[in-house]
């Protein structure tokens, strides 16, 4: 490709809206163009990378035995009503009506459609197991689209769905996808960690997320170096701290805590540790139209996902109760406690283990001390706090560590969550209709692209791994008008291109420094500079990973180095 003919415009300055390296560099390198918030156009260089990423995923999915299809983004409401998700999926779902008032949505995911396809086309158990996938555009009206391709409103996902006869089959299909995902993310040279995950609005009973490790990630992970336990904090559990184990219960005392509402205020006023106190957080669950109090120790945070799962609500339906609503429940904001509160109460295990807890008295300016679960109040005990680094591993008891990650993929055991209500069945030996046992498997293709940049960049720009780089090599003549330079550059370009090396010839009439900066920003792995020594067939050779090193080499040697590298690309 001739640089002069490319649709290419790099930016010197960081666009104001971009906050993280991948977003900044994708815009600056002219790989994507922003249309409106969370909506992007892929320019030629960006599209080349995207296609390579898709093809690696496609190759590994095909090798795993899965078969590719392509569905429409448009999905009818009826399918979502059959699964029960039309009412459960919140405002993220982009809904619309056609001219006949028929309702549709733009697919944020495709469980319903794949289930319908298999239900209609597959009747015999001879066709099972089956794994079908697509690489397709998804739509989610995210509350806060941000970080460029990381969280956009339109994005590309690879989604696969497996259909098995029974649980044992699903376990195999799931493991096959787990292994396939590991191979895919290995091929992207990502540093990643598979972790246990919550199943969210997709549903099912087991799930893993694949997390690309990065400080800009929006997910928190806890993991144990000793036994290998690793989980997203939404899912993570930890051993309960039972530090009051040897205390005897004592009588409740009402203490005045004038205007002290927060854990910090009350604990320093009463000269106690935050972990002796209990936070009583009151939520309104709009899905089940009920108030719920959640109790965690004063040094802990509520894990709202665990709360949602326990009460079978949704993320969009759970909100904090207002001060007026709390008054209506006979309590007062800042002084809430479980005693005398007539609503559903979820008690974190650690709170249930306290023998002498300090809780709000449900009246202004008072707290109660020596409160004891079982004796003074009850509720549904479970894991309702957020696990964090330093907590003890739920499996082996060693201290957990914490890090941040970008969720690039997630796999789920759906079981019969969709096949049962949607009647996706096969006929068994006894001539009975049995629901198929399903799994679903997603990779954020465009998010993966951004994640590679997060892990592979420096001050100058992107450092693409060779197998996903938009081009392998660029030839930069110092002065393209110079006869010897032009001749050598052209010859090199022809040789490399013919040999299958994706090469750019920078024939632009611009200063060499300007050209170098462009290609370093874009992240082309190999740069060949044709300068004064062109007459002797000697060029300068630069590798993007070692940008400070510039070697003067005979042109043949450069060609063979590049050919060698390119022939091993996978
Ligand atoms: P998140 O928790 O980040 O919102 P999710 O769990 O809702 O993601 P899934 O339903 O598991 O997402 O979708 C499969 C994959 O699609 C995710 O693992 C992620 O890589 C990608 N993905 C999801 N939402 C977005 C988005 N808004 N922009 C880009 N990629 C996304
Ligand atoms: Mg997910």
Mean pLDDT, rounded, for 220-225: 97
- pLDDT grade for 123, boundaries at 50, 70 and 90: confident
For residues 204 and 275, state if they share a domain.
no
- pLDDT grade for 199, boundaries at 50, 70 and 90: confident
Distance (angstroms) between ligand 1 centre and the Cα of 67 equals 22
Domain CATH number, residue 221: 3.30.930.10
Distance (angstroms) between ligand 2 centre and the Cα of 408 equals 8
pTM for the structure as a whole? 0.94
- pLDDT grade for 297, boundaries at 50, 70 and 90: very high
- pLDDT grade for 538, boundaries at 50, 70 and 90: very high
For residues 127 and 262, state if they share a domain.
no
- Best residue among 106, 220, 442, 448 to mutate for probing ligand 1's pocket (most ligand atoms within 8 Å of CB) is 442
Q: Is the CB of 444 under 6 A from ligand 1?
A: yes
Taking alpha carbons only, the member of 348, 406, 404 closest to residue 380 is 348
Is 230 among the domain residues? Answer: yes
Token duo for residue 458: 């420096």
Distance (angstroms) between ligand 2 centre and the Cα of 558 equals 44
Check whether 24 has a pLDDT greater than 80. Answer: yes
Check whether 96 has a pLDDT greater than 90. Answer: yes
Residue 258's domain comprises 253-382
Is 11 among the domain residues? Answer: no
Query: What's 52-92 look like in SS3?
Result: HHHHHHHHHHHHCCCEECCCCCEEEHHHHHHHCHHHHCCCC
Q: Is the CB of 301 under 6 A from ligand 1?
A: no
For residues 67 and 156, state if they share a domain.
yes
**Domain tally for the chain?**
3
Check whether 470 has a pLDDT greater than 90. Answer: yes
For residues 175 and 91, state if they share a domain.
yes
Is 186 among the domain residues? Answer: yes
For residues 421 and 341, state if they share a domain.
no
What letter would DSSP give residue 518?
H
Distance (angstroms) between ligand 2 centre and the Cα of 478 equals 48
For residues 215 and 108, state if they share a domain.
yes
Mean pLDDT, rounded, for 223-244: 96
Answer positive or negative: Cα dihedral of 26, 446, 44, 515.
positive
Give the rounded percent of residues in the chain with a pLDDT score beyond 70. Answer: 100
317-344 pLDDT, tens digit per residue, is: 999 999 999 999 999 999 999 999 999 9
Vertex 379 angle, CA 376 and 384, to 5°: 120
For residues 123 and 270, state if they share a domain.
no
Mean pLDDT, rounded, for 202-214: 89
Residue identifier of the C-alpha nearest atom 29 of ligand 1: 151
Q: Is the CB of 157 under 6 A from ligand 1?
A: yes
For residues 183 and 291, state if they share a domain.
no
For residues 326 and 416, state if they share a domain.
no
- pLDDT grade for 202, boundaries at 50, 70 and 90: confident
Cα distances (angstroms) measured from residue 34 to each of 39, 40, 142, 569 = 6, 5, 16, 31
Which helix (H) or strand (E) segment holds residue 207: the answer is: strand 206-213
Q: Is the CB of 142 under 6 A from ligand 1?
A: yes
For residues 257 and 372, state if they share a domain.
yes
Check whether 21 has a pLDDT greater than 90. Answer: yes
Mean pLDDT, rounded, for 499-519: 97
Check whether 448 has a pLDDT greater than 90. Answer: yes
Is the model more confident about 385 or about 548? 385
- pLDDT grade for 35, boundaries at 50, 70 and 90: confident
CB-CB contact of 469 with 525 (8 Å): yes
Relative to the alpha carbon of 447, which ligand is closest?
1
Terminal Cα distance for the chain, rounded: 22
126-168 pLDDT, tens digit per residue, is: 999 999 999 999 999 999 999 999 999 999 999 999 999 999 9
Place of tokens 């997203």: 232
- pLDDT grade for 541, boundaries at 50, 70 and 90: very high
What letter would DSSP give residue 446?
H
Which helix (H) or strand (E) segment holds residue 134: the answer is: strand 130-139
Q: Is the CB of 38 under 6 A from ligand 1?
A: no
Is 172 among the domain residues? Answer: yes
Is 36 among the domain residues? Answer: yes
Q: Is the CB of 159 under 6 A from ligand 1?
A: no
44-70 pLDDT, tens digit per residue, is: 999 999 999 999 999 999 999 999 999
Distance CA(515)–CA(268), nearest Å, equals: 62
Query: What's 359-420 look like in SS3?
Result: EECCCCCEEEEEECECCCECCEEECCECCCCCCECCCCCCECEEEEEEEEEEEEEEECCCCC
Closest ligand 1 atom, CA of 109?
Answer: 10
Check whether 396 has a pLDDT greater than 90. Answer: yes
Residue identifier of the C-alpha nearest atom 3 of ligand 1: 407
Is 6 among the domain residues? Answer: no
Picking from 328, 348, 382, the residue at the C-terminal end of a domain is 382
Token duo for residue 184: 């895919």
Distance (angstroms) between ligand 1 centre and the Cα of 483 equals 53
Is 419 among the domain residues? Answer: yes
For residues 127 and 226, state if they share a domain.
yes
Taking alpha carbons only, the member of 341, 340, 343, 337 closest to residue 357 is 337
DSSP symbols for 243-261? TTTTPPP---EEEE-TT--
Distance (angstroms) between ligand 2 centre and the Cα of 198 equals 8
Check whether 223 has a pLDDT greater than 90. Answer: yes
Distance CA(491)–CA(102), nearest Å, equals: 61
For residues 364 and 408, state if they share a domain.
no
Token duo for residue 119: 């239900």
- pLDDT grade for 72, boundaries at 50, 70 and 90: very high
Q: Is the CB of 92 under 6 A from ligand 1?
A: no
Is 459 among the domain residues? Answer: no
Check whether 204 has a pLDDT greater than 80. Answer: no
Domain CATH number, residue 335: 3.90.960.10
Closest ligand 1 atom, CA of 200?
Answer: 6
- Best residue among 157, 212, 308 to mutate for probing ligand 1's pocket (most ligand atoms within 8 Å of CB) is 157
Counts of helices then strands in the chain (DSSP H, E): 14, 29
């Amino acid at each position: 490709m001739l640089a002069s003919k490319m649709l290419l415009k790099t930016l010197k300055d960081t666009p104001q809206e971009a906050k993280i390296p991948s977003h900044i560099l994708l815009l600056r390198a002219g790989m994507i163009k922003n249309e409106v918030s969370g909506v992007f156009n892929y320019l030629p260089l960006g599209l080349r990378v995207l296609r390579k990423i898709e093809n690696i995923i496609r190759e590994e999915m095909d090798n795993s035995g899965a078969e590719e299809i392509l569905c429409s983004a448009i999905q009818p409401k009826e399918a979502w009503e059959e699964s029960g998700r039309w009412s459960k999926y919140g405002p993220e779902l982009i809904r619309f009506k056609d001219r006949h008032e028929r309702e549709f949505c733009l697919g944020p995911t495709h469980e319903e459609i794949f289930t319908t396809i298999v239900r209609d086309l597959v009747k015999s158990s001879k066709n099972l197991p089956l794994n079908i996938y697509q690489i397709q555009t998804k739509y989610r009206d995210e509350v806060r689209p941000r970080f460029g391709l990381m969280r956009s409103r339109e994005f590309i996902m690879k989604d696969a769905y497996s259909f098995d006869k029974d649980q044992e089959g699903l376990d195999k299909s799931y493991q096959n996808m787990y292994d396939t995902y590991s191979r895919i993310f290995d091929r992207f040279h990502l540093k990643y960690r598979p972790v246990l995950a919550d199943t969210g609005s997709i549903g099912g009973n087991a799930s893993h997320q694949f997390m690309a490790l990065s400080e800009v990630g929006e997910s928190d992970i806890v993991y144990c170096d000793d036994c290998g336990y690793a989980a997203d904090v939404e899912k993570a559990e930890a051993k309960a701290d039972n530090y009051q184990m040897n205390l005897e219960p004592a009588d409740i005392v009402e203490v005045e805590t004038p205007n002290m509402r927060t854990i910090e205020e009350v604990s320093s006023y009463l000269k106690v540790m935050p972990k002796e106190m209990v936070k009583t957080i009151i939520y309104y669950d709009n899905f089940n139209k009920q108030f719920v109090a959640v109790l965690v120790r004063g040094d802990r945070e509520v894990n709202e996902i665990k709360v949602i799962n326990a009460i079978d609500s949704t993320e969009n339906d759970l909100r904090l109760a207002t001060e007026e609503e709390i008054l209506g429940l006979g309590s007062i904001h800042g002084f809430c406690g479980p005693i005398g509160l007539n609503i559903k109460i979820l008690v974190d295990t650690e709170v249930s283990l306290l023998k002498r807890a300090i809780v709000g008295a449900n009246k202004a300016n008072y707290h109660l001390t020596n409160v004891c679960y079982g004796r003074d109040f009850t509720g549904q005990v479970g894991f309702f706090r957020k696990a964090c680094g330093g907590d003890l591993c739920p499996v082996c008891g060693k201290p957990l560590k914490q890090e941040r990650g970008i969720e690039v993929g997630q796999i789920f055991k759906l079981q019969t969550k969709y096949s049962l209500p949607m009647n996706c069945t096969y006929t068994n030996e006894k001539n009975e209709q049995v629901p198929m046992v399903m799994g679903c498997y997603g990779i954020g293709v465009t998010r993966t692209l951004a994640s590679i940049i997060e892990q592979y960049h420096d001050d100058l720009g992107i450092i693409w791994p060779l197998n996903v780089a938009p081009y392998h090599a660029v030839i930069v003549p110092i002065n393209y008008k110079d006869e010897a330079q032009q001749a050598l550059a052209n010859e090199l370009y022809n040789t490399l291109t013919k040999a299958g090396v994706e090469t750019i010839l920078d024939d632009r009439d611009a200063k060499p420094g300007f050209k170098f900066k462009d290609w370093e920003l874009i992240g082309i792995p190999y740069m060949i500079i044709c300068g004064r020594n062109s007459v002797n067939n000697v060029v300068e050779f630069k590798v993007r990973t070692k940008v400070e090193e510039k070697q003067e080499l005979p042109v043949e040697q450069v060609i063979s180095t590049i050919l060698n590298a390119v022939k091993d690309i996978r």
